[in-house]
Structure 1
Amino acid sequence: MAFFLGLIAFTFMAYLLGLFIPISLFANIPANMRVAITVMFVIIGIMHLKSPDKLRYMIDQFVPYPTAAIYVSGVLEILFGILIIFPTTRLFAAWGLILLLVLMFPANIYVAVKQLPAPGGLPSSPWYTWSRLAFQPLYIYWIYLAAIK
């Protein structure tokens, strides 16, 4: 939910910037959505690299080398998040982000089923961890609208 609010906020900020700075980066709503994707995935990727220990509990029961997996996912989130801005790499990056979201979905299911706290200091109430599952398809659709459609 926090990620979704970030997507909305940064899309709106990019739209406002586009009113004053007429460049292709802010040319239309899909472009503004891509800026938001870049900002949010770079932030999340940095969080993965900075604090892998805060995320390991989500995958250490079923992913071998969980810390390495967290580092790899963080690097890929940053890489794909940046590449989605450029027309020549946009499609590749969009599908890469979608694949990452699909691969991370079981970890979010695990957190909800086991009633574990949400990562990153987010609310640990069951309603929040279960509601996070509903947002994952929305993130995929956001990426699709911004970069594939």
Structure 2
Amino acid sequence: MKPLVILLVVFVLSIFVIRFLNQKYDVVLAARIAMCAMLCFTAIGHFAFTKGMTMMLPPIIPFKTELIYFTGVVEIILGIGLLVPNWKIYSAWILIVFFVILLPANIYAAIKQVDLQKATFDGYGLSYLWFRVPLQLLFIVWVYLSSIRF
């Protein structure tokens, strides 16, 4: 829920700041700024809630802690990449693949009822997926429309 709030609040604020600075609206740029902010916000979780995030990965995955740190750095780099004209399309395609790859981890975490902030197994469970799957799809469409399509 927090990433969605960050995405929408930064999007609305960016629209008005861009309008103030450039005397015109640029919804597509505002959308990329919002996605960058949301990715930087979620990347913080990779460092603040590392233990809980490692619990989201099945036991078969090796080097969980390192993978969590690595994906946090990747989120920051790709978020910034959305704002660099020569990188935005590459960053967007990689992000779309990244979001698709993350979905099984979210499904696994929901089945195991992982609460990533507390690093416990008393999270929301399967009901969480009713929100998370559409949210993941929203992120994919958001990136596509703001960085590849326009």
Q: Which residues in structure 2 correspond to 1:1-149 (within 5 Å)?
A: 1-22=1-22, 28-114=26-112, 116-120=113-117, 124-126=123-125, 127-149=127-149
Tell me, yes or no, if the aligned pair for 1:42 and 1:77 is still in contact at 8 Å.
yes
Aligned residues: 145
5+ residue gaps, structure 2, are none
Moved more, 87-96 or 54-63: 54-63
- CA gap of 1:113–1:106, structure 2 versus 1, over 3 A, is same
Moved more, 58-67 or 127-136: 127-136
SS in 1 for 2:144: helix
Percent of aligned pairs sharing the same letter: 29
TM-score by length of 1: 0.87
Q: Partners of 1:78 and 1:15 in 2: how far apart?
A: 22
CA RMSD of aligned residues (A): 2.0
C-alpha deviations, 1:64-102, integer Å up to 9, x for none? Answer: 111111011001000000011011000111112112111
Q: Partners of 1:59 and 1:95 in 2: how far apart?
A: 23
Q: Which runs of 4+ in 1 moved over 6 A?
A: none
Tell me, yes or no, if the aligned pair for 1:8 and 1:36 is still in contact at 8 Å.
yes
TM-score by length of 2: 0.86
5+ residue gaps, structure 1, are none
